[in-house]
Structure 1
Amino acid sequence: MDAARAVSLSRQFKAIADPNRLRLVSLVSASPGSEACVCDLTEPLDLGQPTVSHHLKILVDAGILRREKRGVWAYYSLVPGALDALADVLTTRTGTGR
């Protein structure tokens, strides 16, 4: 793995390492159509909208979620393959000599 890939993966793992952000990924993934409005994510986390939006921005910046603006609301969905790529890093043994 080259240095640039390691930096990118590190940022993604750091983004989902926060309990609230991990819950957000789970909530979005489990939502109908695998997308959720920010307005539907505040109550399950018992956090204010600004705090939830901050966590969502980190997940978007890390390439885990994508954001689509519809009117006054923002809808979030998983970036296709983003979680699979993280899982592959954890389960692949390339370079271990096994």
Structure 2
Amino acid sequence: MFIQDCEAQLPQLRQAIAGYDAERMRRVAHRLKGASSNVGANAFCQVVRELEHLGVALAQQGSQGGHDLEWARALQAPEDLERILADIRQYL
């Protein structure tokens, strides 16, 4: 069920990041963090935890600009998560 939930939520995460929607990114990352923590997917949990914190920081800073580095890190995260999910599938 964890993998199915992640597969359903990753497109939402990608959309939030592509749309520079920090609050939506934070919410999706928070849900994924809880799910991954519950099943002990520590590497996955670490990535979404970082995204959640990044989403909080970006949402608080608003549209003040100069956040290219943060958004570049966020853009890489879904690919990292896909790789981790592939490892989990292989393990199972």
Q: Which of the pair has the greater relative contact order for Cα pairs under 8 Å at 6+ separation?
A: 2
Tell me if both proteins adopt one fold, taking TM over 0.5 as the criterion: no
**Normalising by the residue count of structure 1, what TM-score does the alignment of the two structures yield?**
0.35
Q: Which has the larger radius of gyration?
A: 1
**Normalising by the residue count of structure 2, what TM-score does the alignment of the two structures yield?**
0.36
